[in-house]
Amino acid sequence: MGDDYEFYIACYDRDHGDIEPYKNIINNEWNSVGKAKVWYVQPNKFTNKMILSLSKDKNLIYLTSFYEEYGYKTLYLKKLNKISCPVVIASMGIFSKEALAHKSLKKKIFITGCKLLRLFKNITWSVTSVLEAEDLKKIIGKKSIYIIAEDLPRTSVPGRIKKNDKVLKVCFLSRICEHKGLDIVIEVLSRIEDKNIEFSIFGPIQDSNYWNDCLKKLNHLNLIWAYKGDVQSDNVQNILSTQDVLMLPTKSENYGHVIFEALSVGCIPIISDKTPWNIIKTKDAGYVVSRTIESFELALLDYMNLSDKEKNKIIDEAIKLAKDKVKQSKENTGYRDIFELRGNR
């Protein structure tokens, strides 16, 4: 949407959890990145003065968090009327039951404090679905003002890429933590133990204790497996194009970009029913099952037992669904409604 709006992005100078900043960037001045200008800041360096300077002459501020310093400081400055333009907060799935269960007391205290200080007054929320809007209203209040804007997928749908038919390549690509369910995938594969399966794990290790538990289980697998590290965002589709099946027993997803990216290259998703992608099941483009070992095992076995013709049909439906999603997102996106708020709130 960079041809229609001017985007100025203020963000940290490194990925979450990284010690080193990005290479080839300049901190505290505007960097040209694609169709946007980006201002990189060291962690813990978002000052009130900087936020006021960055927000000067802007028509809208779109926050991706109120837990982070740039978020709650912006809300406080808005409350003091030092920021005049509308402020929108993306709820990012943080009000789901599963998300709130992690560090629940700390989050409850923080959210209650924000409400007592009335930091959410005159704020518009950006949610990705009706379900997320319901979660928002339960926590923030029934009168919360929101706009539904489904996350935008990549515009690229590379399509099908020829793979080795003799080996079934199964992968997990996500953050390695209990929420995403790598342990469930490992347990499923331990039950099947087909020598013609190769299992690849991609993603950053967010919880080292959880990863160590997974490693113990992996070392007992009677099939080829490998941990291949994190994947840069712009390389996810290339990675998934080498795989046959993506397994993701996640507890919840705000959108699930990796699911779209799997569909776009004909990598068949086997996912939990805790994402916005239940359409995969109705379109016969993959498997949507309950978050249990048995359900994921049955789904994988079902795919393995399909004929080549049946597999090709699912792959074609997956790619078609990805193309339809891109077309839909271009024609009808709530982000335009959000960006046109300027001056209205």
Q: Is residue 158 part of a domain?
A: no
Q: Does a structural domain hold residue 157? A: no
On whether both 127 and 242 belong to a single domain, the answer is no
In this structure, are strands 31-33 and 36-41 parallel, antiparallel, or unpaired? Answer: antiparallel
Report the C-alpha gap between 116 and 108 in whole angstroms: 12
Identify residue 226 by its one-letter amino acid code: A
Q: In terms of domains, do 24 and 58 share one?
A: yes
- Whether 191 and 238 map to the same domain: the answer is yes
For residues 323 and 326, what is the distance between their CA atoms, to the nearest angstrom? 5
- Is 0.75 surpassed by the pTM of this model? no
155 located within any domain: no
Q: Do 116 and 145 sit in the same domain of this protein?
A: yes
Whether residue 78 is contained in a domain is answered as: yes
Residues 270 and 307 in one domain: yes
CATH number, domain of 42, equals 3.40.50
CA distances from 343 to 77, 119, 121, 234, 245 (A): 17, 19, 16, 35, 47
Residues 59 and 91 grouped into a single domain: yes
pLDDT in tens, 239-265: 999 999 999 999 988 788 999 999 999
Residue 24 and residue 96 in one domain? yes
The answer on 201 and 138 residing in a single domain is no
pLDDT score, position 152: 74
Contact 241, 54 (CB under 8 A): no
- pLDDT score for 15: 87
State the pairing for strand pair 36-41/145-148: unpaired
- Does 84 lie in the same domain as 105? yes
Task: Please give the structure tokens belonging to residue 32.
Answer: 């040209």
β partners of residue 17: none
Among candidate residues 165, 232, 176, the one with its CA nearest the CA of residue 200: 176
Instruction: Dump pLDDT digits (tens) for 274-298.
Output: 998 999 999 999 999 999 999 999 9
Number of domains in the chain: 2
Same domain assignment for residues 184 and 293: yes
Looking at the domain assignment, is residue 159 inside a domain? Answer: no
Q: Are residues 319 and 185 in the same domain?
A: yes
Both 322 and 176 in one domain: the answer is yes
Q: What is the pLDDT of residue 294?
A: 97
107: containing domain = 7-150+330-339
**Which stretches in the chain have pLDDT values below 50?**
344-345
Helix (H) or strand (E) segment spanning residue 292: none
Phi, psi of 39 (to 5 degrees): -110, 110
Contact call for residues 169 and 245 (beta carbons, < 8 A): yes
Give pLDDT, residue 79.
Answer: 95
160, part of any domain: no
Q: Domain of 279: which CATH number? A: 3.40.50.2000
